[in-house]
A and B are shown apart, each in its own frame.
Chain A
Amino acid sequence: GENVEQHPSTLSVQEGDSAVIKCTYSDSASNYFPWYKQELGKRPQLIIDIRSNVGEKKDQRIAVTLNKTAKHFSLHITETQPEDSAVYFCAASKKNRDDKIIFGKGTRLHILP
């Protein structure tokens, strides 16, 4: 089955700097890659996603890149703000099949003042 690896597990960046979180997946049939943000005690919330037929997607300060050949995908957050502090999960699924999401173990992002 699918396996998603995520690193780093913890990331501290100065406010205003950029943060990058990297993930790999194992199943070449995976074709949909969502990223979720989870604040303490709250539900995971989708922040951005990318399909396998796209190499990059951007939404304001957040961007995601996908390298299908290498089975790598990354989340980039620019101009980080205190409210970006949270746990971020990358994930993979096979859209139009079972759609179940396989999550990475998460990255705890700390934005330092």
Chain B
Amino acid sequence: DTGVSQNPRHKITKRGQNVTFRCDPISEHNRLYWYRQTLGQGPEFLTYFQNEAQLEKSRLLSDRFSAERPKGSFSTLEIQRTEQGDSAMYLCASSFDGQETQYFGPGTRLLVL
């Protein structure tokens, strides 16, 4: 599968723990996006990168959230001191600059107990 991949696919953690998710975009896609999707809702934009530069962060992204894309390829999303309200599906998408279509990964489903 040469599409967007995400790991892990599922994560169960206890409140207060830190978690980190990884996204590998389609090769040569220079734009990478993170979205969060809760049950019964559409995906909500969190942040995006063009190459290694993080260009925008949503107000949804509290100080406990941090995202990186150090070499302009894969990206990580870390949540510190998780809360039950962080339980959601975290989706990653990538696109090539100049092309509209964003391709989504399978998501990481997070459950905070």
Residues of A that sit less than 8 Å from B by CB: 4, 6, 32, 34, 36, 42-46, 49, 51, 89, 91, 93, 95, 98-106
CB distance from B111 to the nearest CB of A (A): 14
Pair A103/B44 contact, Cβ less than 8 Å: yes
- Specify which chain B residues have a CB less than 8 angstroms from the CB of A6 in the assembled complex: 42
Closest chain B residue to A91 by CB distance? B42
CA distance A43 to B93 in the complex (A): 10
CB distance from A36 to the nearest CB of B (A): 8
- Specify which chain B residues have a CB less than 8 angstroms from the CB of A42 in the assembled complex: 106
Q: Other CB < 8 Å A-B pairs besides A99-B95, A101-B33, 17 of them?
A: A32-B100, A34-B102, A36-B104, A43-B104, A44-B104, A46-B103, A89-B43, A98-B55, A99-B33, A100-B33, A100-B56, A101-B102, A103-B43, A103-B44, A105-B40, A105-B42, A106-B42
Closest chain B residue to A93 by CB distance? B100
Residues of B that sit less than 8 Å from A by CB: 31, 33, 35, 40-45, 48, 55-56, 91, 93, 95, 100-107
Pair B100/A34 contact, Cβ less than 8 Å: yes
Using A98-B55, A98-B56, A99-B48 as known contacts, say yes or no to A104 and B42 having CB atoms under 8 A apart. yes
The 4 closest A-B pairs by CB, nearest first: A103-B42, A43-B104, A100-B45, A89-B42
Using A99-B48, A100-B33 as known contacts, say yes or no to A105 and B41 having CB atoms under 8 A apart. yes
CB distance from A92 to the nearest CB of B (A): 11
Our pick among A44, A46, A100, A103 for the contact of B48 (Cβ within 8 Å) is A100
